[in-house]
Structure 1
């Protein structure tokens, strides 16, 4: 049985907008969204993975695809919602939605590679680790393919 994205445990990350995030047009520069996504995904990993696993693994971004919906401003209260969509081998695929209240400001699809912290080589995560990110697996004890 395959674990669906709807089973992914959402992780909320509060984005702090700084004056240096603002560009010449008076709104957040596109590069700042990448910083936010990286911080949000890594915070998600640290929040849900077991501590001993976190210390043995690192993550590097492979690809980001950002769809900008609305501009973001210095005074905005912004939350990023992170969902782990799937894991294939050493790769993880994430969706991050950046919102101001109910308004979607940006949608980001990203892929990441898990590395062994000692060797810096790609590392597969054990099924038991991956299951920490999916509610159905935790609640039902299901051992689906991830």
Structure 2
């Protein structure tokens, strides 16, 4: 695969019949849902699941999201969604990138980018990343 960055966390996906819209392709909202699932899968693989977020009263919340839909996908397509952490100030913000690739030919069909901010769950206000976040996330941040 021609990934944008090395060593992606890969989350395999495939459109279901309910994901196909009136134009006979995967609805754009489905890509957004897949990105959320891939982000959680990556975070869990790094040891930070929802229970850890709640215990720490911290979360990485999406401040801004951008998606570039390059080509349509449809029922039966096997897809690989790669994700990376690509930037951080080590205190409050982080960037997550996504690349959706059709497995059959390696063609990139979507790219996404999230700007994340660490928040205190209880108040919803920005707060510094706890040590557990830095220990899990910072070692896997890739250079842009």
Shared fold per TM-score greater than 0.5: yes
Distance 1:79 1:43 in 2: 13
Structure 2: runs of 5+ lacking an equivalent: none
Q: Is the 8 A contact 2:102 2:108 kept in 1?
A: yes
Match of 2:95 in 1: 93
Distance 1:91 1:85 in 2: 11
Match of 2:118 in 1: 114
TM-score (norm 1): 0.74
* Aligned residue pair count: 131
Q: CA deviation at 1:24?
A: 0.8
Q: Is the 8 A contact 1:45 1:54 kept in 2?
A: no
Q: Please give the root-mean-square deviation of Cα atoms over the aligned residues, in Å.
A: 2.6
Distance 1:45 1:124 in 2: 18
TM-score (norm 2): 0.75
Structure 1: runs of 5+ lacking an equivalent: 137-146
Distance 2:47 2:92 in 1: 15
